[in-house]
Amino acid sequence: MFSIQNYTVESLASQFGTPLYVYDGNKIEEQIGKMRTAFAGTNLKLKYACKALTNINIMKLMRKNGVDIDVVSTQEAHLAILAGYQPHQIQYTPSGVAFAEIQEAVALGLRMNLDSLPLLEKVGQTYGNSLPVCLRINPHIMEGGTLKISTGHKDSKFGISIEQAPEIYEIVQKYDLKVVGLHQHTGSDFKNANVIISAAEKLFDLAFKYFPNLEFIDLGSGFKVAYHEDDHITDMDKLGKGVVKVFNEFCAQYGKEVELWFEPGKFLVSECGYLLTSANVVKHNPGRNFVGVDSGLNHLIRPMMYDSYHEIINGSNPDGEEKEKYDIVGYICETDTLGKDRTIPTVKEGDIIVIKNAGAYGFSMASNYNSRFRPAEVLIYNGAAQVIRKRETMEDILKNQIVLDI
C-alpha cells in the first residue's frame, strides 16, 4: 500500500476521510534545502509564492525555515501576518489592483512590487521617494508550461515592458523614486531553465543603465516539477552554477553585493502534496473503463484548466500485477477527467486513488462548484499527521447566502 511518511493512504483516509489533501512538511524542507545548496555563494533570499498553497501552517513552516513570502493580494498578506511574518518580510506583487489596495498594502508596511507605468506615476504622486519600490519588468521572453501560465512575453498582461525603460526612468526621475529592486517572472513550469539567466541579463542591463542603488534582484520562479513520470525537472544544481556565476559577475561590476531573490511556489510545495480520493464507482463501458472518484475539477482544476497531467495511482494496491486502463473522472456534473487512459492496478470500489503533485495550485484553486464541500487538509510533519483545515460543511456553503422572503 502507498504511504506518505509512515502513514498508509488507507489509514489516512479512514482517520480523516476523503477527499483529502495531504502534505508532507519534511518534503517541503528538503526542497528549500535544494535551493539553498544550489544558490550558495550568493546573498540568497527565498520568498515563497504563497498563492500556490495558502494554508497558514504551510506559511509557518516556511517561516520556521527562514523563507520569506510573496503575496499577490492584501488578503494573502493578512494570512502571512497571521503566520507570524513581519511586514518587511512580505513582498507584495499585485497585478491590476485598485489603488486603494496599494494604499492598504503601504499602510501594512509591505514591500511593493509595481507592475505598470500608471501605477508608478500614482505611487510617485502619492508617496514620492518615501516608499522603496521594486519594479516588475516584463522581459519579453516566451517561456512557461503553456501559454496560460507564461507571463514574461510581449503579449502578457504582467509587468512593465522592458521597451518602456526610458518612460520608467522618466517617472523615477520626476518623483525621485527610490527603486530598490528589479523583478521578472517569465512563467510557471518552464522547459528551458536558462531562461532565468537570459532574463537576469536583461535586468542587469537595466540596473547598469538606470538604477545604481538596487538592494536586490528578484528572478521570480517557474522551476519545473515532475508532473509526468518522464518529465525532466529543473536541474537546480546546474541552474544554480550558471546563475551564481553571472550574478556574482554582475555584483562585482555593479560594485555592490545585492541580494538574489527567488519566489518559488511549485518547486517548494507541488511534490509534497497528494489528493486522496475514494473510488466511488468502477464502470466498464464498451471500449472504455471509468473510475469515478469523490472529487473532481472543484478540488483540482489543473487538468481541466491547463490540460495538466498528474500522476494517478491506486494507493490501495500500487504494485498489483493485474492492470486495467481507465479514465479517472470526478463526481462533478461536467466532463471532469482527472486522468485519461491510465493503466493502473485493477481498481475496486472503495480503493484509495491518489493524485500526485497536488500541493501547488490544488487546494488554493479549489471551489464549491456543484455546492460540494472543499476537502480537509492534513499536514504530516516529523512523523505526526495533523488536520490543518477542517472539511467544509453545509454551514460553509450557506454562510453568505441571504434567504429572501419570496
Tell me which residues touch ligand LLP (CB under 6 A). Answer: 49, 52, 70, 93, 149, 151, 185, 188-189, 220-223, 263-267, 302, 306, 360-361
Grid coordinates representing 115 are 507592475
Please identify the residue of the shown chain whose CB is closest to the bound ligand LLP: 265
Q: Which of 50, 134, 272, 333 is catalytic?
A: 333
d(CA 285, CA 406): 45
342 is in an annotated binding site: no
Radius of gyration of the CA atoms of the chain, in A:
23
Give me the least distance between CB of 396 and ligand LLP, in Å please: 23
d(CA 217, CA 200): 8
Using DSSP, state whether 348 is helix, strand or coil: coil
d(CA 214, CA 89): 17
Task: Give the residue with the Cβ less far from ligand LLP, 326 or 361.
Answer: 361
Place of cell 460543511: 393
Phi, psi angle pair for 42, to nearest 5°: -125, 170
d(CA 70, CA 7): 32
Task: Give the residue with the Cβ less far from ligand LLP, 27 or 266.
Answer: 266
**DSSP 8-state secondary structure symbol assigned to residue 266:** H
d(CA 231, CA 224): 9
Q: Is 84 left (phi over 0), alpha (psi -120 to 50) or beta?
A: left
Give me the least distance between CB of 330 and ligand LLP, in Å please: 17
23 is in an annotated binding site: no
d(CA 194, CA 242): 8
* Burial of 191: CB neighbours in 10 Å, binned 0-12, 13-18, 19+: middle
334 is in an annotated binding site: yes
**DSSP 8-state secondary structure symbol assigned to residue 277:** E
Give me the least distance between CB of 47 and ligand LLP, in Å please: 8
Amino acid at position 239, single letter = L
Task: Give the residue with the Cβ less far from ligand LLP, 125 or 367.
Answer: 367
Task: Give the residue with the Cβ less far from ligand LLP, 20 or 52.
Answer: 52
Task: Give the residue with the Cβ less far from ligand LLP, 25 or 264.
Answer: 264
Task: Give the residue with the Cβ less far from ligand LLP, 254 or 369.
Answer: 369
CA 232 to chain centre: 19
Give me the least distance between CB of 201 and ligand LLP, in Å please: 19
Instruction: Note if 333 is an active site residue.
Output: yes
Using DSSP, state whether 274 is helix, strand or coil: strand
Taking the CA atoms of residue 209, residue 215, residue 216 and residue 217 in that order, the dihedral angle to the nearest 10 degrees is: 0
392 is in an annotated binding site: no
CB 12 within 8 A of CB 268: no
What interhelical angle do 56-64 and 25-38 show, nearest 10? 40
Give me the least distance between CB of 183 and ligand LLP, in Å please: 7
271 is in an annotated binding site: no
Q: Is 125 left (phi over 0), alpha (psi -120 to 50) or beta?
A: alpha
d(CA 149, CA 188): 6
Binding residues for substrate: 302, 306, 334, 361
Binding residues for pyridoxal 5'-phosphate: 222, 361
List active site positions. 333
